[in-house]
Homo-oligomer: A and B are copies of this chain.
Amino acid sequence: MARKVFYISDGTAITAEVFGHAVLSQFPMEFEAITIPFVETNAKAEAVKKQINDSFITTGERPLVFHSIVKPEIRDVIYSSEGLDYDFLNTFVAPLEQQLGVSAAPVLHRTHGKANHSYEARIDAINFAMENDDGQTLKHMDKADIILLGVSRCGKTPSSLYLSMQFGIKAANYPFTEDDMDSLKLPEALKRNKHKLFGLTIDPVRLQEIRQSRMENSRYSSLRQCRMEVKEVEMMFKKERIPYIDTTNHSVEEIATKILDMTGMERHMF
């Protein structure tokens, strides 16, 4: 049976999840995760403690408990459970206090809260990505931070949205479609913003799989068409000296961070 894991926080629990997930992904075994956010009151903490203890009784194994709890009195209740505590906030805060010569002043909801000064810029970036997706307009290209190019279904949309959501970057994207293939060229609004262009490409076999699941047995999803489009677009990237990456074996996180790494664009954290 998969080992039980609890991710607990008095905030969103996103940090506890990311932290626990990163640590546990180093182990070649399965875990069964339960996330409990917003544990803000003693009553809720006691209920969570009971849930942890019940899991211990049922399974005979002490559940792993990853938490990022800011309030000391809530943390104490969780500590007193039968779970095995992995408390990365506390583990690192004490040594840091010593190094910095500054006492921590924990404030709830600071990690993923709205207090962050660049919050408005992030929402603007998300709206920008939505409104400038898939070449639906070229009016705002001058305001874009980056413009992703590529064939249909190579990963432009998720990458643009991730760049905006995670890093507050205004990402537009523009597709090259079947009709463009005879004479691939950059529209004027893109030429003018050439330094912002970044290409995505993909293995034609993988592209065909993705297109098949959307539009079965069409010309659009034929291997022949996929091969041709990828080849033409890659040639264009080379000719125009547009930097590009292959998305085939990469997650959205990897594509987005590779783009930032290659372009030297700054990351904003939220």
What residues of chain A have their CB less than 8 Å away from a CB belonging to chain B? 3, 11-15, 17-19, 21-29, 33, 35, 37-38, 62, 64, 68, 70, 84, 86, 88-89, 91-93, 95-96, 99-100, 102, 104-107, 109-114, 116, 119, 122-123, 126-127, 130, 133, 157-158, 161-162, 165-166, 249-254, 256-258, 260-261, 267, 269-270
Q: Are B158 and A27 in contact (CB under 8 A)?
A: no
Give the residue name and chain of the B residue nearest to A11 (CB): B254
**Contacts A114-B249, A251-B113 known; A157 to B126 CB distance under 8 Å?**
yes
Q: Are B96 and A37 in contact (CB under 8 A)?
A: no
Alpha-carbon distance between A7 and B249 when the two chains are bound, in angstroms: 24
Q: Are B104 and A27 in contact (CB under 8 A)?
A: yes
Q: Which residues of B contact A37 (CB under 8 A)?
A: 257-258, 260-261
Q: Which residues of B contact A27 (CB under 8 A)?
A: 96, 100, 102, 104-105
Give the residue name and chain of the B residue nearest to A38 (CB): B261
Distance (whole angstroms) from the CB of A191 to the closest CB of chain B: 27
CB pairs A–B below 8 angstroms (17 shown)? A3-B100, A12-B256, A22-B89, A22-B111, A26-B70, A29-B100, A37-B257, A86-B96, A88-B92, A112-B251, A112-B253, A113-B250, A123-B158, A130-B161, A161-B161, A162-B165, A253-B270
Q: Are A19 and B251 in contact (CB under 8 A)?
A: no
Q: Are B88 and A253 in contact (CB under 8 A)?
A: no
* Most B Cβ at <10 Å: residue of A22, A109, A110, A157: A22
Q: For A22, give its contact among B24, B68, B84 (CB under 8 Å).
A: B68
Q: Which residues of B contact A270 (CB under 8 A)?
A: 251, 253
Q: Are A13 and B86 in contact (CB under 8 A)?
A: no
Q: Are A23 and B114 in contact (CB under 8 A)?
A: no
